[in-house]
């Protein structure tokens, strides 16, 4: 029996259990899975733990492997009182002192042998190069130098278990803990694995504790401990262990070399898994189920693509309006009858068209901050010259209109006030109209038909180019307002469609606006509480009305996009929860071989973030693409604002964190014992 020992033997003590009890509450009664176990194991021992099913072997193994803590009693592992350790400390003790070998091998699927062997070092924060060197030497030691890049499915059962043994040895632990290591192997491979374990123990001084229910396997150990009903009922040395069969050849030089590498000290402070590793694991896991990842990321993808596209459209429209506004000049005021911008609807509700030539004259005469005033009548009409015809916008106005719009003649002379007084049938035509009717000839002096009237072209207008609201400024025919009334159409009582006004300078725009409003109120009084019969807008009013409408549109789109993002986020959470359930065993193995809760949390959180970020980045690219296509089609300058690009990636990562946290936490808080038991 190993209970009594002399002081100098104490240094050799790998583990020491004293009166350990583990009690489970099972319904009303309590079951003592371990009922006062005391056990010492010294360096270099090979102990087999045997017993019938339900005798407490697994509970004892979990205790020795620091996966569980005793209800009472103490447990020292290489001098540390592990029974007093918390979860984190026990995880660290596992990763430093214990190497686990499982019945079902528990290698990480689709991961090469060498990477499997490296995993415990990952959690200890060993650098990449040393990790690789140690893993390769550990594989040398188990005779698998030629199989380092094979994945578990490319290896036989015996080879897989040898990889698992290499993984257990790679941290040079004080103790190898094997739970039915040959339970899943045929008799020939059983011998091979036993021979390896025996060799490691005898020739290399590795301390081994192995649970088995097979007497044949137990016979290979140098000490057999029998457990029954949670108690040790016998503990016998085996002076002549059975020699297991052939082990695959590893020569002494290779073995010496390997052991020298493995016995190099590990980092003192546990660093945990780095960012790069977390990213690598996440990427690998997503690549493993590409279709699933793609479908999961779809919600976020659509949401981000929608936001990006719409913001580009919004920017494009705003930019175009800004260009047009600045082309018109900041001094412009537009006076319209009825409700102004919303005039259509209000006009229909009963307000009469009330602006007249006289109003325009009164403004010019009585508002000192105003420089030019032009009454405007407009209609769409067919224009014809020779065999060419076109449809255009015809405006009847006064010469002040040229000043208001800063419009000059490119050829000919613009008609003047005399033409207005005499209602001369003359017109100035925009570049678009000139091209349509007088492509290859000089337009000035020629006749053209405008609606039912015939008039003479006296000037062509300098091109203003395509601008705002999708309108072509050059698609215009300008004629004296009197001629317009005579030949095109007239409103009763000298009424006009609108009056365009320019303030003397940008500084007095608001004073001019106020002056015009006051004057028109005197001229068109309404009853108290009623709205004015006209509306005076300056360009920034028009601009802000437009911006308001754009913002409203943006809000609606943002709402739609948010819903899509929310659904996408829930999708991520859902798939991550499924993933945690599917990979419970993997999580258990990782926890057993040294991962801490934080490592598992990081791994799953990174996976969720990466999933969401992929959706975000692809969505962003699609948004850019859609904006480019729409820009090409609409000729709007569509640019994705850099802040939107930045925030969409940030938001998708944020969604990953928010919706990945619950699944990741669930994974991190799994009990390693339960997790390992799960199939
Ligand atoms: P073995 O591995 O030798 O088959 P175990 O250590 O698994 O035995 O179980 C020993 C006893 O403890 C059994 O009676 C079992 O039912 C009980 N037991 C083990 N784990 C639990 C648990 N988590 N909750 C309740 N009872 C348990
Ligand atoms: Mg068991």
Query: Which candidate, 578, 599, 576, 582, places its Cα nearest to that of 657?
Result: 576
Burial 130-139 (b: 16+ CB within 10 A, else e): ebbbbbbbbb
Distance 33 CA to ligand 1 centre (A): 6
Which residues of the chain carry a pLDDT beneath 50? 1-7, 340-351
Per-residue model confidence as pLDDT tens digits over 19-53: 999 999 887 888 899 999 999 999 999 999 999 98
Ligand 1 atom with minimal separation from the 674 CA: 23
- Please answer whether residues 322 and 590 qualify as being in contact, where contact means their C-beta atoms are separated by less than 8 angstroms: no
- Please answer whether residues 433 and 476 qualify as being in contact, where contact means their C-beta atoms are separated by less than 8 angstroms: yes
530, 532, 533, 538 alpha-carbon torsion, rounded to 10°: -150
What is the separation, in whole angstroms, between the first and last Cα of the chain?
A: 38
If you take atom 21 of ligand 1, which residue's CA is the nearest one?
Answer: 24
If you take atom 1 of ligand 1, which residue's CA is the nearest one?
Answer: 54
Partnered with residue 390 across adjacent β-strands are: 383
Query: Which candidate, 43, 267, 244, 247, places its Cα nearest to that of 141?
Result: 247
Query: Which candidate, 303, 315, 312, places its Cα nearest to that of 625?
Result: 312
**Would strands 72-77 and 208-211 be described as parallel, antiparallel, or unpaired?**
unpaired
Burial of 53 (0-12, 13-18, 19+ CB in 10 A): exposed
Around ligand 1, the residues with Cβ closer than 6 Å are 24, 26, 31, 33, 51, 53-59
Distance 16 CA to ligand 1 centre (A): 22
Q: 């678009």: which residue's tokens?
A: 432
DSSP 569-585: HHHHHHHHHHHHHHTHH
- Alpha-carbon gap, residue 31 to 59, rounded angstroms: 12
Q: Hey, which of 27, 53, 59 would you mutate to test ligand 1's pocket, going by the most ligand atoms within 8 Å of its Cβ?
A: 59
Distance 623 CA to ligand 1 centre (A): 57
Q: Hey, which of 56, 228, 230 would you mutate to test ligand 1's pocket, going by the most ligand atoms within 8 Å of its Cβ?
A: 56
Enumerate residues 6+ apart whose C-beta is below 8 A from 528.
Answer: none
- Alpha-carbon gap, residue 140 to 259, rounded angstroms: 10
HSE, side-chain direction, 13 A CA sphere, residue 470: 2
Distance 231 CA to ligand 1 centre (A): 13
DSSP 468-500: TTTEETTSEEEEEHHHHHHHT---GGGB-SEEE
If you take atom 27 of ligand 1, which residue's CA is the nearest one?
Answer: 24
Token pair recorded at residue 516 = 């015009």
Distance 202 CA to ligand 2 centre (A): 27
The model scores a pTM over 0.85? no
- Please answer whether residues 210 and 197 qualify as being in contact, where contact means their C-beta atoms are separated by less than 8 angstroms: yes
If you take atom 12 of ligand 1, which residue's CA is the nearest one?
Answer: 33
HSE, side-chain direction, 13 A CA sphere, residue 657: 6
Q: 């070092």: which residue's tokens?
A: 121
If you take atom 10 of ligand 1, which residue's CA is the nearest one?
Answer: 56
Distances in Å between the Cα of 638 and the Cα atoms of 94, 357, 530, 618, 644 are: 58, 42, 42, 19, 13
If you take atom 17 of ligand 1, which residue's CA is the nearest one?
Answer: 33
- Please answer whether residues 301 and 625 qualify as being in contact, where contact means their C-beta atoms are separated by less than 8 angstroms: no
Q: 């050799």: which residue's tokens?
A: 12
Question: Coil, strand or helix: which one is 397?
Answer: strand
Q: Hey, which of 23, 53, 54 would you mutate to test ligand 1's pocket, going by the most ligand atoms within 8 Å of its Cβ?
A: 54
Distance 584 CA to ligand 2 centre (A): 19
**Would strands 388-397 and 466-467 be described as parallel, antiparallel, or unpaired?**
unpaired
- φ, ψ at 327 (rounded to 5°): -70, -35
If you take atom 11 of ligand 1, which residue's CA is the nearest one?
Answer: 33
Query: Which candidate, 245, 340, 268, places its Cα nearest to that of 545?
Result: 340
Per-residue model confidence as pLDDT tens digits over 559-610: 888 888 899 999 999 999 999 999 999 999 999 988 889 999 999 999 999 9
DSSP 512-567: HHHHHHHHHHHHS---TTSPPSEEEEEHHHHHHHHHHHHHHHHHHHHHHHHHHHHH
Report DSSP state, residue 266.
P
């Amino acid at each position: 029996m190993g209970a009594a020992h002399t002081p100098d033997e104490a240094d050799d003590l790998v583990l020491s259990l004293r009166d350990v009890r583990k009690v489970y509450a099972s319904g009303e009664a309590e079951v003592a899975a371990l009922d006062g176990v005391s056990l010492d194991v010294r360096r270099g021992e090979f102990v087999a733990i045997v017993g019938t099913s339900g005798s407490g072997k697994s509970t004892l193994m979990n205790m020795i492997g620091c996966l569980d803590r005793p209800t009472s009693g103490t447990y020292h592992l290489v001098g540390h009182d592990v029974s007093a350790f918390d979860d984190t400390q026990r995880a660290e003790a596992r990763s430093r002192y214990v190497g686990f070998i499982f019945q079902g091998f528990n290698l990480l699927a689709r991961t090469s042998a060498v990477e499997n062997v490296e995993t415990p070092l990952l959690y200890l924060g060993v650098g990449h190069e040393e990790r690789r060197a140690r893993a390769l030497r550990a594989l040398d030691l188990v005779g698998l130098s030629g199989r380092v890049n094979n994945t578990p499915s490319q290896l036989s059962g015996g080879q897989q278990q040898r990889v698992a043994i290499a993984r257990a040895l790679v941290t040079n632990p004080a103790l190898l803990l094997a739970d039915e290591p040959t339970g899943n192997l045929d008799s020939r491979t059983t011998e091979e694995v036993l021979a390896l374990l025996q060799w490691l123990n005898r020739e290399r001084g590795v301390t081994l504790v192995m649970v088995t229910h097979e007497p044949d396997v137990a016979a290979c150990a140098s000490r057999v401990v029998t457990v029954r009903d949670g108690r040790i009922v016998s503990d016998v040395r085996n002076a002549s262990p059975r020699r297991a069969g052939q082990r695959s050849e590893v020569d002494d030089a290779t073995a010496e070399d390997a052991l020298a590498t493995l016995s190099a000290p590990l980092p003192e402070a546990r660093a945990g898994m780095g960012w790069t590793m977390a990213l690598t694991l996440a990427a690998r896991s997503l690549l493993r189920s590409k279709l699933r990842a793609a479908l999961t990321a779809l919600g976020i993808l659509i949401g981000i693509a929608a936001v990006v596209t719409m913001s580009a459209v919004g920017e494009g429209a705003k930019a175009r309006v800004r260009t047009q506004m600045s082309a018109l000049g900041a001094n412009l005021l537009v006076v319209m009858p009825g409700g102004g911008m919303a005039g259509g609807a209000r006009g229909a509700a009963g307000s009469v068209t009330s602006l007249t030539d006289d109003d325009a004259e009164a403004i010019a005469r009585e508002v000192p901050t105003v420089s030019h005033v032009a009454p405007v009548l407009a209609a769409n009409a067919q224009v014809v010259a020779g065999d060419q015809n076109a449809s255009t916008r015809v405006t009847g106005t006064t010469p002040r209109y040229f000043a208001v719009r800063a419009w000059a003649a490119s050829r000919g002379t613009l008609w003047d006030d005399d033409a207005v007084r005499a209602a001369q049938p003359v017109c100035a035509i925009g570049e678009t109209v000139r091209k349509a009717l007088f492509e290859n000839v000089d337009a000035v002096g020629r006749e053209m038909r405008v609606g039912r009237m015939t008039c003479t072209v006296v000037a062509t207008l300098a091109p203003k180019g395509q601008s705002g609201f999708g309108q072509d400024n050059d698609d215009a025919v300008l004629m004296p307002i009197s001629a317009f009334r005579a030949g095109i159409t007239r409103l009763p009582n000298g009424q006009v469609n609108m009056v365009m006004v320019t303030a003397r300078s940008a500084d007095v725009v608001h004073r001019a606006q106020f002056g015009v409003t006051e004057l028109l109120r005197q001229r068109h009084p309404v009853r108290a509480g009623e709205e004015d019969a006209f509306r005076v807008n300056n360009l920034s009013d028009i601009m802000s009305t437009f911006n308001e409408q754009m913002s409203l549109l943006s809000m609606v789109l943002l709402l739609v996009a948010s819903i899509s993002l929310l659904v996408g986020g829930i999708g991520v959470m859902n798939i991550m929860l499924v993933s945690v359930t599917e990979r419970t065993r993997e999580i258990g193995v990782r926890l057993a071989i040294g991962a801490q809760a934080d490592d598992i949390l990081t791994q799953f959180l990174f996976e969720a973030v990466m999933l969401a970020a992929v959706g975000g980045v692809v969505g962003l690219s699609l948004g850019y693409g859609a904006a480019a296509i729409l820009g090409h089609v609409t000729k709007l300058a569509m640019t994705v604002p850099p802040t939107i690009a930045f925030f969409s990636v940030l938001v998708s990562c944020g969604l990953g964190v928010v919706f990945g946290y619950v699944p990741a936490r669930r994974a991190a808080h799994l009990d390693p014992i339960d997790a390992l038991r799960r199939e």
